[in-house]
Structure 1
Amino acid sequence: MAVEKVETLIIGGGQAGLAVSGHLGKRGKEHLVLERKRIAERWRAERWDSLVANGPAWHDRFPDLEFKCDGDAFATRDEIVSYLEDYAKLHKSPVRTGVEVTALHRNADGSFRAETAAGVIEAKNVVAATGPFQKPIRPVMVPDEAGILQVHSAHYRNPDQLPPGAVLVVGAGSSGAQIADELQRAGRKVYLSVGPHDRPPRAYRGKDFVWWLGALGKWNARTVAPGMEHVTIAVSGAYGGHTVDFRRLAHRGITLVGRTDGFADGKMTFAPDLKANIEAGDANYLSVLDEADAHIAANRLDFPEEPDARKLEAMPDCALNPVLSLDLKQAGVTSIVWSTGYALDFGWIKFDAFDEKGRPAHDRGVSTKVPGLYFLGLAWLSRRASPFIWGVWHDADRVAEHIAQR
């Protein structure tokens, strides 16, 4: 079989791959996008049915294409898929679907050789645009013989997917909090394991949280403060958009528990840190309000007052008298949803392009070890905004320019 050659090969047909394709196309640079399944496959196959974007449509988009839905709405999963398909059509992106790259090698002359089931492709440049959500992390804690259905949030679809009975949701970031909320609204008994988290306001004094991130300079933050990488953020666009409030979820009937510690003899154990985690999340919430108020005062902005935003409900009993051990069978728990995040998986790259911790070694997406290799869509690639639709567009512009100048 003849070896196909292309100037730039983009691996991944999601928001990152399509963004850099659009920028390369504008510069008249030859390229090819390979997608293992379909455009925006992770949005199609690794998101639950009712998922919506966590930011309003006026913000969570590329600058050169608007969503078809109302700008203040939170786009649904299907609307996001359609949007990315429309973006590919707009820029006439050369996307080849159903082609998975199984291995990427570096040739002696510095070019690259991608192995696929459809043949070999050689390229001068390669952009790894496989995103931040590559390999679901599911703790090996509860054995299969315990008789509990266990799914990662990437494989959760809807309440009907789970057998009748109570559900334990482990992880209280955006995914875990939204899934627990959906399950409780569907009539399920829900236990939600809450670890350290930030929980920003959905909106404050007439502006959405994403607007405040821009006004306060947080989208452009370029460094991760100590511990920030390991603190999850709980925010939601579901049900028209609302602030995630764990006190309120508990008063509605969800039983909150602390960070999940372990499992033995049919019992799940939890750390005694629930109250502290809730209080730390509340402090984060109030700190955003403080910063917003200071910004309004300093810039003499005529924004409406919102005193009720600072009112917190009473600390729930499940936090004052925490459950530290839960007999799953006795509690009727038949399912566990692990909302425990993702790990990067670049095992298909067969040469050293990584740092001492196994992460891509790069400077704002440009490999610092391998000329011609680029990374896009990763968290904190250049700044806080990098893994988001509008943020990756700007990173892709810079990468495309670097490619054009090679």
Structure 2
Amino acid sequence: MTSPAPRQIEVAVVGGGQAGLSISHHLVRRGIDHLVFEKHAAMHVWRTRRWDSFCLVTPNWQCQLPGHPYAGPDPDGFMKKDEILAYLAGFRASFDPPLREGVAVTRVAPRPGGGFDVATSDGAYVAGQVVVASGGYSEPVIPRLAERIPAAVLQLHSEQYRNPQSLPEGAVLVVGSGQSGAQIAEDLHLAGRQVHLAVGNAPRCARFYRGRDVVTWLADMGYYDMPVEQHPLREGVRDNTNHYVTGRDGGRDIDLRRFAREGMRLHGALESLAGTHLTFAPNLRAALDEADRIYNAINASIDRHIAERGIAAPPPSVYTPVWQPAEEEGRSLDLAAAGIAAIVWCIGFRPDFRWLDAPVFNGAGQPRHVRGVTAERGLYFLGLPWLHTWGSGRFSSVARDALHLADRIEAVRHAAAPHDLAVAV
């Protein structure tokens, strides 16, 4: 039996999250034929990978999806999970995206004569251009060490955690102190659970400082408009762990030292397991000190901004530690003796681009691009952390990146342009 001929489309968008729908918004407005392929349901990550008490860690005013800025009653607040879902549903309803939910893209490859072959679970397509909007958080990271954890201990990744009541009675070990790890540890701590937290190298920042949200100060200082090539770390910033802070209950700092003073047990980074005995790196004191150094450094940059512009604001302050670990504290933990009933792995996600058969990756398997534009004509990335600026993977700036790519797509579509059009900034 002869296979049906591939269906022709101008642009294939892979991924139906906020990035995929943002580029779709611009393509719809320009009348550019395209399809958005989403193997699950649109925005599914926000429904399936967030715990019950989840809320934004950035103020609502930063929610600026294209044509759909936040218009609620609390721009300086932090939307909770249900409010986020309602905001995203409103964005989807604000235009009519050509969305194919439940359709997985299994392979994308350049065609010799131009364009791309796109294999999906719903048949074959040929696309003139392709936008990869599947994000950088596809596969949960769980260490091989987890395979040797005793079966009696429940293990789950942060994407599976919902609330303290869903875990068995007993102590809980949270591994990782980035945004998810710190917030889940706090969620369990506030519920009265005995929490052990394996602390990594995540930095922290203040929620409010000198009368305003720190995010608002940093926005005024232009930090969120800084392109990646101007950041002191250049592309290395893409590997950085996000600062931990919370928008819970109107927003506040997360201070792991205060949690320790209240009974949370802090450990260094997890290193090894022998039987039921875990060993942690001797980095706890250094990790806490470095997180506080960054906290104070951010505040000091705000101090300079205030002084240089003569802004009236409450006086400055410097955080001083409220608790210090003993020299050997947090080096070991016996799961059985400590009554550990569950482990929540909060060590992040990795992207999955195995389906993309194109020469656009570096030696570490990361996509090479300039503001999402690759050297492969007509192939783009959108929604990755620091694709262009800090907000590229967030509600705050994905619209700007999507507009940039829509301009490129339209230029390639209409002009008989030289190849370097696809890679110029």
Aligning the two structures, in what range does the TM-score lie when normalised by the shorter sequence? over 0.9
Matches of 1:346 and 1:43, distance apart in 2: 21
Q: TM-score, normalised by structure 1?
A: 0.94
- Which consecutive unaligned segments of at least 5 residues does structure 2 have? 413-425
Deviates more, 1:111-120 or 1:271-280: 111-120
Whichever residue aligns with residue 252 of structure 1, its letter is E
Match of 1:23 among 20, 23, 26: 26
CA deviation profile, 1:317-344 (whole Å, cap 9, x unmatched): x455512111111000111111101111
Aligned position for 1:75:
79
CA deviation profile, 1:81-111 (whole Å, cap 9, x unmatched): 2222221221222212111112222222221
CA deviation profile, 1:238-291 (whole Å, cap 9, x unmatched): 222111111111122211111111111211111111111111111111111111
Match of 1:281 among 288, 291, 295: 291
Are residue 40 (structure 1) and residue 43 (structure 2) matched?
yes
Are residue 115 (structure 1) and residue 119 (structure 2) matched?
yes
CA deviation profile, 1:58-87 (whole Å, cap 9, x unmatched): 113326323345212211222222222221
Within-5 A mapping of 1:41-60: 41-60=44-63
| 1:22 partner SS | helix
| 2:396 partner SS | helix
Deviates more, 1:161-170 or 1:69-78: 69-78
Matches of 2:303 and 2:357, distance apart in 1: 51
Asked if the contact 1:12–1:130 (Cα under 8 Å) also holds between the matched residues in 2, the reply is: yes
Count of aligned pairs: 402
Aligned position for 1:13:
16
What's the offset of the Cα at 1:150? 1.3
Are residue 92 (structure 1) and residue 100 (structure 2) matched?
no
Are residue 396 (structure 1) and residue 402 (structure 2) matched?
yes
Matches of 1:170 and 1:198, distance apart in 2: 15
Aligned position for 2:390:
384
Identity %: 39
Matches of 1:83 and 1:99, distance apart in 2: 24
Within-5 A mapping of 1:64-213: 64-67=67-70, 68=72, 70-144=74-148, 146-147=150-151, 148-213=153-218
Whichever residue aligns with residue 382 of structure 1, its letter is H
| 1:197 partner SS | coil
Aligned position for 2:278:
268
What's the offset of the Cα at 1:30? 1.8
What's the offset of the Cα at 1:225? 4.2
Aligned position for 2:347:
340
Q: TM-score, normalised by structure 2?
A: 0.90
Matches of 1:351 and 1:66, distance apart in 2: 35
Asked if the contact 1:196–1:232 (Cα under 8 Å) also holds between the matched residues in 2, the reply is: no
Whichever residue aligns with residue 351 of structure 1, its letter is A
Asked if the contact 1:367–1:373 (Cα under 8 Å) also holds between the matched residues in 2, the reply is: yes
Whichever residue aligns with residue 320 of structure 2, its letter is L
Whichever residue aligns with residue 299 of structure 2, its letter is L
Aligned position for 1:312:
320
CA RMSD of aligned residues (A): 1.8
Matches of 1:118 and 1:44, distance apart in 2: 24
Matches of 2:178 and 2:293, distance apart in 1: 16
Asked if the contact 1:101–1:115 (Cα under 8 Å) also holds between the matched residues in 2, the reply is: yes
Whichever residue aligns with residue 314 of structure 1, its letter is V
What's the offset of the Cα at 1:311? 4.3
Within-5 A mapping of 1:325-364: 325-364=332-371
Matches of 2:166 and 2:77, distance apart in 1: 27
Matches of 1:5 and 1:319, distance apart in 2: 65
Matches of 2:392 and 2:286, distance apart in 1: 30
Match of 1:218 among 212, 217, 223: 223
Distance change in 2, residues 1:155/1:69 (3 Å): farther
Whichever residue aligns with residue 12 of structure 1, its letter is G
Distance change in 2, residues 1:232/1:56 (3 Å): closer
